[in-house]
Amino acid sequence: MNLRIGQWKKSSYSGSETNCVETARLPDQVGLRDSKSPDTTLLAFPHHEWVGFLREVAAEPVG
């Protein structure tokens, strides 16, 4: 998979830190990669799985 496609973003909570996870909307999936090593390993999930993951995280109580 071409790791250069998509617009990669990290959380605004990360500030200028480089130890972050970046995400990108790819044609048929959402990609995740390490900001320190953007040209290495990529995890990719179908859009519906990523949305389900985000819903579960948002539903968990903080603390």
Q: For residue 8, how far is the Cα from the chain centroid?
A: 8
Whether residue 7 lies inside any domain: the answer is no
The per-residue pLDDT for 15 is 75
Spell out a b/e string for 37-62, using b for 16 or more CB atoms within 10 Å of the CB, else e.
eeeeebeebeeeebeeeeeeeeeeee
pLDDT tens for each residue of 12-52:
888 777 788 999 998 889 999 988 888 888 899 999 999 99
The per-residue pLDDT for 47 is 95
Expressed as residue numbers, the domain containing 20 is 12-59
Whether residue 2 lies inside any domain: the answer is no
Question: What is the Cβ-side half-sphere exposure of residue 8, based on CA atoms within 13 angstroms?
Answer: 19
The per-residue pLDDT for 1 is 56
Whether residue 5 lies inside any domain: the answer is no
Whether residue 6 lies inside any domain: the answer is no
Integer Cα distance of 37 and 27 in angstroms: 22
Is the pLDDT reported for residue 3 higher than 70? Answer: no
